[in-house]
Amino acid sequence: KVATQMRDPTPSPPPGWDELTPREQEILRLIATGASNREIANRLYISEKTVKNHVTHILSRLNVRDRTQAAILANSMLGNFSDN
């Protein structure tokens, strides 16, 4: 595994990342910064209810229990995997 990582230093996304829509990925990035649903809604010009729906889908697709776990997962990968 280490040899593979040395040959290909680009990390692969965590399970579920590819299932997220571009909007869900955007919201996950904002969750990772500590933004609240209201802050995300205001920034993206969508309703808070829409943000809540996206968060529910994100948690399900990443198989995590809460937004804290989602933020930890996002922060662990977004340092090297920010634009995919």
Residue 34 has pLDDT above 70, yes or no: yes
Model confidence at 77, pLDDT cuts 50, 70, 90, reads: confident
CA distance 10 to 66: 27
List, in order, residues 6 or more apart from 16 with CB less than 8 Å away.
61, 62, 63
| CATH code given to domain 2-78 | 1.10.10.10
Q: pTM of this prediction?
A: 0.77
In tens, the pLDDT along 47-57 reads: 999 999 999 99
Residue 38 has pLDDT above 60, yes or no: yes
Token pair 């680009």 is found at 10
Domain ranges for the chain = 2-78
Residue 81 has pLDDT above 70, yes or no: no
